[in-house]
Amino acid sequence: MAIKVKLRRKPISGKRLSLYLDFYPAIINTDSGQLTRREFLGLYLFDTPKTLVDKQHNKETQSLAEQIRQKRDNQLNKPEIYTDFEREQLKLKEKSNQSFVEFFEKLANKKKTSNYDNWVSALKYLKRFTKGNLKFADLNESFCENFKDYLLSAPNMRGGKTPLSKNSSFSYFNKFKAALRQAYRDGYLQSDLNAKVNPLKAAETQRKFLTMEEVNQLAKTECTLPILKKAALFSAITGLRFSDIEKMVWSELEFIKGQGYFIHFRQEKSEGVEAMPISEQAFGLLGERKKPTERVFAGLVYSAGTNRHLFKWLTDAGITKKITFHSFRHTFATLQLSKGTDIYTVSKMLGHRDLKTTQVYAKIIDQTKREAADKIHLDL
């Protein structure tokens, strides 16, 4: 059905007439995504032109408005008259007028992994900074730098007057850059803005880990949530993240004669496909093999309740360190390095894309050695 496009006038202040296009039936407004019958042109005529200048203004403005009306009519009803280049430009313009905030939100909703909460938090700060109104056309290097500065000084939304931690700012800005990268790939941005904007630097954090003696003590201590104990110890001797352990199914576990046990899986965080060897002891923790599609750690979920069980287990084992589930992954890395495994191998086993990410564990080992050396002091 053809869409009728008519040029109409509406009286406004100063004895003027505002020009607008009237569509029937209604069309979708590319800015709001809602149906609309009107599109104001930002042009006006004098209602009763008195001078030659006023009359000339009306004549030229009427002609321009008619050209716009004809072009919109062609866009809606005769797209075949445009060249490929013109059609492509029209598509780019339509995309550039769409909401980047809505695009970001759709990306966040796809991240149903351990990263989901970070994406949602980043979205909240983006909405607060932009008041929810940001088109792709408004994105440039200046905006990105301003948003970066905002994150570095923004108050923590969880309450209080304290600003966001540096690592939270780092994480949220990385999500913003990831969205820019995806927008460029999807054709919403005509240049790779992500590549032009420097990321924030993460602050070095003190990674908590357990000693071999502490891990063995936990292994001997009962846990009120047995599946949590099994998963935590499995993480300590494989280095796997909670998200990768939680989703693991039996079909991903394989035994190859002469080589041993392997896990074939896609890492939730890096999305890299891995075939990782695990020890016979690690496999022995898992219990009896079940159906290929069944989860190995059925019933394991991340929740405040799970953390309470973890805290009680640590307390019962006599461990007072502030340990989270992720600390078992840190434990694996530090124990491997302390036992002489080279950093490149540890990096590969952890699934790190960049060796720099693994080097922080080497610093921990160096610090541990320094503390051990300083324990011996002679009275001279």
Q: What are the pLDDT digits (tens) for 150-172?
A: 998 888 876 656 778 887 888 89
What angle do helix axes 326-338 and 355-373 make, rounded to 10 degrees? 70
**H helices within the chain, ranges in order?**
52-77, 84-96, 100-110, 116-130, 141-153, 166-185, 193-196, 212-220, 226-238, 242-247, 280-284, 304-316, 326-338, 343-350, 355-373
Note if the bond before 11 is cis, omega within 30 degrees: no
276: pLDDT strictly greater than 90 = no
CATH numeric code, 212-373: 1.10.443.10
Percent of the chain with pLDDT over 90: 42
Task: State residue 129's pLDDT score.
Answer: 93
More confident site: 361 or 337: 337
Burial class (CB in 10 A: 0-12, 13-18, 19+), 203: exposed
Task: State residue 76's pLDDT score.
Answer: 80
Task: State residue 199's pLDDT score.
Answer: 86
User: What's the whole-number mean pLDDT along residues 369-374?
Assistant: 65
What 8-state DSSP symbol labels residue 107? H
354 pLDDT band, cuts 50/70/90, is: confident
**What is the token pair recorded at 83?**
């060249």
99: pLDDT strictly greater than 60 = yes
Cα 284 to its chain centre, rounded Å, is 36
30: pLDDT strictly greater than 80 = no
Q: Alpha-carbon distance 105 to 142, whole Å?
A: 22
202 pLDDT band, cuts 50/70/90, is: low
91: pLDDT strictly greater than 70 = no
Dump pLDDT digits (tens) for 1-12. Answer: 688 999 999 999
Q: Which amino acid is at 212?
A: M
Task: State residue 268's pLDDT score.
Answer: 52
266 pLDDT band, cuts 50/70/90, is: low
**3-class SS of residue 340:** coil
Q: Where are the domains of the chain?
A: 4-81, 100-196, 212-373
Residue 346: partners with Cβ closer than 8 Å, 6 or more residues away: 333, 336, 337, 358, 361
Task: State residue 74's pLDDT score.
Answer: 81
Residue 228: partners with Cβ closer than 8 Å, 6 or more residues away: 300, 306, 309, 310, 313
238: pLDDT strictly greater than 70 = yes
299: pLDDT strictly greater than 70 = yes
Task: State residue 128's pLDDT score.
Answer: 92
176 and 168 in contact (C-beta within 8 Å)? Answer: no
**3-class SS of residue 124:** helix
Percent of the chain with pLDDT over 70: 85
